[in-house]
A = this chain, B = another copy of it.
Amino acid sequence: MGNRLDVFKAAINEITDYGHITALLGWDMQVNMPAGGAEDRSDQISSMERLMHMKITSPETVQLMGEMREYAKTIDPDSDDARLIKVSLREFDKLAKVPTRWVAEFSKETSQAHMVWEKAKRSSNFSIFQSSLERIVTLRREYASFFAPYEHVYDPLLDGFEPGLKTAEVQAIFNALRPQQVALIKAIGQKPQVDDGFLTRPYAEKAQWDFGVEVVSKFGYDWEHGRQDKAMHPFTTSFGLGDVRITTRFDPAHGASGLFSTMHEGGHALYEQGPDRRFRRTPLANGASMAIHESQSRMYENLVGRSLPFWKHFYSRFQQLFPSELGNVDLMTFYKGINKVEPSLIRVEADEATYNLHIMLRLELEIALMEGSLEVKDLPDAWNARMSDYLGVTPPDDAHGVLQDVHWSSGYIGYFPTYALGNLVSAQLWEVMQQQMPDLDAQIERGEFSNLLAWLRTNIHTHGAKYEPQELLQKVTGSKIDPQPYVRYLTGKYSAIYGL
């Protein structure tokens, strides 16, 4: 079997390369590509995805996968080889259900839709994007049909981002969480508001960039194996363990937005740089799931980057960079300002207390679109109505409402819930870390981030995708996804800030 295992691994290496190449096509599209390159790029991405699909569904691969399925039964199920076979078969079994024709069509549609969405967002006009999104929803419903029978039409989509998780489970978690978050927001709303006026001053982009670079460098981001660029919608991507790139953006109206974006993507990137090198060129070198991924980014952005110990260390340096904006703003005013809770329009700018409500709204709309109880043309109204219900704010236009996120233009339906789940996981991990490293806050206050990273490397990063998300979480925290640590975290933090 040795020889066939080598053939299998070589095929996996090649397929992994194709994935990284496709990722580069996407990164370049969002970071560098001139507008006129869109049609060609869309053809290229389609060609790569068609190729990948044909390779995976070829008779040779089917034969090989069948042999590996049997072989895996004969070895230690926790061995790298068994896990590689398991993770590969999981993807393989899914892809085998999807016709090559659908893959090509979806790929072409979504790579064109990205430019259409950008244009629609620029002119704040949903109708420009409507027919693209209609085709994407139709394609996504067709995709779900390949996996029938299912418990819920949304399950096959969710599974693409969060292996094994069911719509019903997410709904149960969110149903437990929603009333507690709403109660917290209500309690905060009855207290005097904190001041964050200093955040809307025009912070110089370059100083923001430099400070962001300084911070993620301290976190341990390895620039020999990465770089940062600007993109309209920040993201992290990797072309192998040796090349993990982050992007950021600057909003002149929101002083520190570039910094928090950099810390967020830095968290993703630390994860992507962390899997053991023996997983190189295999799917085991990925993160365990999007929620685990998001737990890393939200941890660095929020549990670290919006914490008091962090700013006790960095604030004087930050103040130096922006003397006219922050010269007369003291540490506690700054700390409270960046943690101001206020229902608002834009998800990526939402505070930690309201953020998950943005996600719940999206989840419900996605489920309605997939169930067919909501039509795409009615989406802006549905969005605005729900924003008003949940957060008490109404978008003045589509750019600040239904068009704000890139995800749907990429065909990502089923992705959003992982953001909220990531928040929950970040707090679960944090509680364990604080038990095991009682002086973690003090370390952060001294600007020391190496033990934090070492803990994450050992417990999370190094394993890559070897363990399934719930399995990994169980190993590390003794529990599956649980909303209570996050509620405890929010309550503790905001009690101090707002004097609840």
Give the interface of A toward B (CB within 8 A).
Answer: 13-14, 17-18, 20-21, 24-25, 28, 32-41, 43-44, 47-48, 50-51, 222-227, 229, 239-243, 280-281
CB < 8 Å: which of B43, B226, B239 contacts A17? B43
Chain B residues within 8 Å of A223, by CB: 34
B37 and A242 within 8 A (CB): yes
B239 and A36 within 8 A (CB): no
Given contacts A24-B24, A47-B17, A47-B18, contact A41 B239 (CB under 8 A): yes
Q: State in angstroms the CA–CA spacing of A280 and B48 once bound together.
A: 18
Q: Which residue on B lies nearest to A22, using beta carbons?
A: B21
Most buried by B among A39, A222, A229: A39
Copies of chain A in the complex: 2
CB < 8 Å: which of B32, B40, B43 contacts A227? B32
Given contacts A28-B24, A281-B43, contact A243 B17 (CB under 8 A): no
B226 and A43 within 8 A (CB): no
B222 and A37 within 8 A (CB): no
CB < 8 Å: which of B17, B28, B243 contacts A36? B243
Chain B residues within 8 Å of A33, by CB: 243
Chain B residues within 8 Å of A222, by CB: 36
Chain B residues within 8 Å of A229, by CB: 32
Shortest Cβ gap from A499 to chain B (Å): 47
Given contacts A17-B43, A21-B21, A28-B28, contact A34 B240 (CB under 8 A): no
Chain B residues within 8 Å of A40, by CB: 20, 239-243, 280-281
CB < 8 Å: which of B38, B225, B241 contacts A242? B38
A34 and B281 within 8 A (CB): no
B243 and A37 within 8 A (CB): yes
Lowest 4 A-B CB distances belong to which pairs? A40-B240, A37-B243, A36-B225, A17-B47
Q: State in angstroms the CA–CA spacing of A14 and B243 once bound together.
A: 27
A36 and B224 within 8 A (CB): yes
Q: State in angstroms the CA–CA spacing of A222 and B17 once bound together.
A: 33
CB < 8 Å: which of B13, B43, B281 contacts A13? B43
Given contacts A34-B227, A36-B224, contact A47 B14 (CB under 8 A): yes
A225 and B34 within 8 A (CB): yes
B242 and A39 within 8 A (CB): yes
A240 and B43 within 8 A (CB): yes
Q: State in angstroms the CA–CA spacing of A356 and B13 once bound together.
A: 45
Q: State in angstroms the CA–CA spacing of A466 and B229 once bound together.
A: 39
